[in-house]
Homo-oligomer: A and B are copies of this chain.
Amino acid sequence: MEHLEEYERRELWSKIQNALFEDKIDQFRAEFLEMHPYDQAKIFEELDTDVRMQIYTYLSPEEMAEMMEHLDFEMVGDYFTEMEPKFAADILSHISADDAADMLKELDRNMVASYLTIMDHEAASDIKELLYYEEKTAGSIMTTEFVVIHAKHTVKEAMLHLKKEAPGAETIYYIFVIDEAKHLVGVISLRDLIIAEEDWFISEVMSDRVVYVKVGEDQEEVARIMRDYDFLAIPVVDFQNHLLGIITVDDIMDVMEEEASDDYSKLAGVSDMDRPDENAFEAARKRLPWLVILLFLGMMTATLMGKFEATLNQVAILAVFIPLIAGMAGNTGTQALAVAVRGLATGEYEKDGMAKLVMREAGTGLITGTTCGFLITGIVYLWQGDVFLGILVGISIMATLIVATLAGAIVPLIMHKLKVDPAVASGPFITTINDLISILIYLGMATTFLSLQLLK
């Protein structure tokens, strides 16, 4: 089938709704469980409470678990709260440990404690291990449900072991090899295992050059490695090289999406764009913090300009170029900021070093500044017939572009050195600081020109 379009889902949904309405449990199960768990989740999200309560009695914990893995994890807390605790704990024990850990992070601590106590001990132990790791590190996105084989096994023994373990493992396409002390010693792909001769030893067919990450590695770095090496999974080890877990490519795709949204939000000055299904109040709440900060920064600019009131009074035409200059400053800074943040995220700047980057940005500012400066001098002269006014605006634009380019590039680098996420130096912040500096340059130069009697 083609991936379900919205209207197709609604058609199926009517059928399912009828079955529910008429309490036809078998018919409901037949229709609902036919669908991919992702589509089941999409439908489940839209239901009313009483319908959900009905579904809890129609599906087993395993079936609920498969579907719930595709729900928005920030919402599942509400669902668990409406269920019998035992039912919720059973579902959690069937959800893959890494997803279960992520869900529990959204819940009240007491609830988490009681679920972990009620549920199957082995599942609880897997989950507790994952809850321990810091947000956005390899440890927090890995799963402990993977298959290992020993270097001393034969290919035949390994395949038998695999068939047995396969149902409970997140993936069996890369199988990691350990020694007796559980150190990671090698890896073999299922593809290579199938092609190999049955009586060979694993140690002979495996690759001992395993790429791994340490448990504290940043998730963005893990994503970069998996993308660069085209891996389907990557092992996670502790400081002594014991194999603790694996991270699979589907989880990394979610991380990539999260990180991209994050960077994008920050450039725009909106907090947390992840949840679009909101009303006007929620949307306003996400944007107001930055807007209020910018309001105050704007007042600072106004106060600063107030000190140049005499200059503005004398040459009223000066005011009309302020939006132009401030606007160019803002946009230039944003461009430089975007390139710097993106470069830091993709790891490009580790290679060349900060000094080289700053030199290049200075050069870029010089080129763009000179080009735009000459351009605007010509335009202003043609418009107002005043060559000194043209020169004033031209020099201001040039100085502004150089300063704004450097500011937009250097601020995120400084933040990176201070171990702060450089994307926090958001677009609006850099823009407004650059506005301020550019106006200072412009009006300061204008005052100087006036005192030299170059303007009328």
Q: Which A residues contact B (CB, under 8 angstroms)?
A: 1-3, 6, 34, 36, 38, 70, 159, 162-163, 166-167, 172-173, 190-191, 194-195, 209-214, 225-232, 249-250, 252-254, 256-257, 260-261, 263-265, 267-270, 273, 276-281, 283-284, 287-288, 290-292, 294-295, 297-299, 301-303, 305-306, 309, 312-313, 316-317, 319-328, 330-332, 334-335, 337-339, 342-343, 346, 348, 350-352, 360-364, 366-368, 371-372, 375-376, 379, 383, 397, 401, 427-428, 431-432, 435, 439
Interface of A, secondary structure class, is helix
State how many angstroms separate the Cβ of A389 from the closest Cβ of chain B. 11
> Would you call A366 and B270 a contact (CB within 8 A)?
no
State how many angstroms separate the Cβ of A257 from the closest Cβ of chain B. 6
State how many angstroms separate the Cβ of A124 from the closest Cβ of chain B. 24
State how many angstroms separate the Cβ of A420 from the closest Cβ of chain B. 19
Given A253-B249, A264-B264, A360–B280 Cβ distance below 8 Å?
yes
> Would you call A334 and B269 a contact (CB within 8 A)?
yes
State how many angstroms separate the Cβ of A225 from the closest Cβ of chain B. 5
Chain B residues, CB < 8 A from A363: 279-281, 283-284
Chain B residues, CB < 8 A from A383: 299, 303
Chain B residues, CB < 8 A from A303: 320, 383
Q: 13 new A-B pairs (CB below 8 Å) besides A277-B348, A280-B363, A292-B372? A: A2-B212, A166-B195, A226-B253, A256-B256, A278-B360, A288-B367, A288-B372, A294-B331, A295-B372, A298-B328, A301-B324, A312-B320, A327-B432
A351 to B34, CA, bound (A): 23
Name A279's contact: one of B163, B260, B331, B360 (CB within 8 Å). B360
23 contacts between A and B (CB under 8 A): A1-B210, A36-B209, A36-B211, A166-B195, A172-B191, A227-B254, A256-B257, A261-B342, A263-B264, A268-B339, A280-B362, A280-B364, A291-B372, A292-B371, A298-B323, A298-B324, A301-B324, A302-B320, A302-B324, A326-B327, A327-B431, A327-B435, A330-B431
> Would you call A194 and B211 a contact (CB within 8 A)?
no
State how many angstroms separate the Cβ of A335 from the closest Cβ of chain B. 5
A226 to B278, CA, bound (A): 25
**Taking each of A334, A371, A431, which has the highest tally of chain B beta carbons within 10 Å of its own beta carbon?**
A334
Chain B residues, CB < 8 A from A269: 331, 334-335
Name A327's contact: one of B214, B230, B294, B309 (CB within 8 Å). B294
Chain B residues, CB < 8 A from A338: 264-265, 267-268, 270, 273
A227 to B225, CA, bound (A): 18
**Taking each of A211, A297, A319, which has the highest tally of chain B beta carbons within 10 Å of its own beta carbon?**
A319
Given A173-B190, A225-B3, A283-B364, A322–B324 Cβ distance below 8 Å?
no
A261 to B381, CA, bound (A): 39
Name A268's contact: one of B210, B295, B313, B427 (CB within 8 Å). B427
State how many angstroms separate the Cβ of A274 from the closest Cβ of chain B. 9
A367 to B292, CA, bound (A): 13
A1 to B319, CA, bound (A): 62
CB nearest neighbor in B for A360: B280
Given A260-B256, A264-B342, A287-B364, A3–B229 Cβ distance below 8 Å?
yes
